[in-house]
Amino acid sequence: RKEVEQDPGPFNVPEGATVAFNCTYSNSASQSFFWYRQDCRKEPKLLMSVYSSGNEDGRFTAQLNRASQYISLLIRDSKLSDSATYLCVVNPPGTYKYIFGTGTRLKVLA
């Protein structure tokens, strides 16, 4: 099993739609999880950290499911500007490294 796994997509959704992505991780002891957004040929930008209790920021909601070892990102009321690749990042316990998933590509269509 890969350390961090994401469906590469693309997810093509109309403006205003709700879309959700999942990301699975292999190390059950992992404690730190993040969602980043990456536009083409740009740096990853932090979207949100994922806490045990979940995390919401405007139209974005992140959840952690420890039992099934996945995190999710929900985007409500999609905007054209949400089109990007969404990266799942995990910091394995006892390490100083961050493992990135391959990313899920989202295209919001007018």
Partner 1 sequence: EPEVTQTPSHQVTQMGQEVILRCVPISNHLYFYWYRQILGQKVEFLVSFYNNEISEKSEIFDDQFSVERPDGSNFTLKIRSTKLEDSAMYFCASTAPRGVYEQYFGPGTRLTVT
Beta bridge partners of 23: 6, 71
Considering the rule CB under 8 A, would residue 66 count as an interface residue with partner 1? no
The pattern of x and - marking residues 7 through 46 that bind partner 1 according to CB under 8 A reads -------------------------x-x---x--xxxxxx
- The Cα-based distances of 66 to 19, 43, 55, 83 in angstroms read 21, 29, 15, 28
Under the binding rule (CB under 8 A), the answer on residue 62 touching partner 1 is: no
Site of interaction with partner 1 (CB under 8 A): 32, 34, 38, 41-46, 49, 51, 87, 89, 91, 95-103
